[in-house]
Amino acid sequence: MDLDTKSTPELTHEELRRLYSLVSATRELDLAAVAWQRQGIIPGYAPELGQEAAQVGSAFAMDPARDFLFPTYREMGVALALGVDMVQYMSTHKASWHGGLYNPVQTRLAPIQAVVGGSVLHAVGWAHGSRLAAAPGTDLPVAITYFGDGASSQGDIHEAMNFAGVLKAPVIFFVQNNGWAISLPTEEQVAGGRVAARASGYAMASVTVDGNDAAAVVRATRSAAAHARAGKGPVLIEAMTYRRGPHSTSDDPGRYRTLDEERRDAGTDPVTRLADLILSSGAGTQEFLDSAAADAKAHAEAVREGVQALGSRPGSEMFDFVFAEPTNALKAQARAWREESEHV
């Protein structure tokens, strides 16, 4: 079933300006984070160059007062759009903490998830629980969960979608189809090349949206949230975009595609596209765009300073959050670590 997005209003000029500020800040911080990794400030990072519109647009459409967002390890733009402290977010990439130092309950952003497809199961569980807890006839809180075209082949994804479809869980499955499952092109690991086609097998609505068009992503996600909030069940959104950089800072995309292929397939840059819309619609001037770019650079520099100031966490914490009740083996490992590292 195709989701109806035609009744969702266009964005106001104020919304377009806010959206651009967030997209611009995401682009600048993403480029900065790659540079930090090259400089040794952080040990690793998963870039999102080219996916800013999909990430910011989808988060922009959600209601952080009641909804919950479940990221992977690449949703920096989602976190920024929600207003998460980006030093606390980047603490995971600094290897200072697992899943981010931010408070998930307050920010409505679940901890950063490195397990491929893992956050999807959590989102469906949360959505089902919120549906059970809601008063009859009221609008439902909605979960949105992120994954890529590569992750869509994971068994966990299919179990989660089936569970959500059967129980009409208010959850949005947001697929960023960036053309690559690390080094494997989408057409070689997704039959038919589109993930949205799978939604019908789980009796859920779906929509394919231009993931480089931030305003279109906002409207599609708002439509999906309204559908799920009304108790009509889950929605699968497939945002067609392109991963312009490497899968991670340890990846070399030159081993599986050429620069000519990147230029040919990447499409319109999402930041440039939104800037053109701002100017053509009269939502803002070139002075506004320049100001947003300057603010984005200043923000990235402030985050860099905060990330560099992050201290190391106590090594003993590695034993604290493994089991609710530590096993004898874990206690023995902790004792051995203290003897070797702290000489106690």
Catalytic residue from among 17, 256, 313, 338: 256
Catalytic residue from among 244, 247, 299, 304: 247
Is residue 247 annotated as part of the catalytic site, yes or no?
Answer: yes
Q: H helices within the chain, ranges in order?
A: 13-39, 52-60, 76-82, 86-90, 104-107, 118-133, 155-167, 214-229, 259-265, 270-281, 286-309, 328-337
Is residue 227 annotated as part of the catalytic site, yes or no?
Answer: no
Is residue 146 annotated as part of the catalytic site, yes or no?
Answer: no
Task: Dump the DSSP string for 267-334.
Answer: -S-HHHHHHHHHHHHTS--HHHHHHHHHHHHHHHHHHHHHHHHPPPPPGGGGGTTS-SS--HHHHHHH
End-to-end CA distance of the chain: 63
What span, in angstroms and rounded, lies between the C-alpha atoms of 71 and 44?
A: 17
Q: Is the CA virtual torsion 55, 148, 87, 126 positive or negative?
A: positive
What span, in angstroms and rounded, lies between the C-alpha atoms of 63 and 61?
A: 7
Which residue type does 192 have? G
Catalytic residue from among 27, 131, 227, 243: 243
Strand partners, 2: 206
- Which residues are known catalytic residues? 243, 247, 256
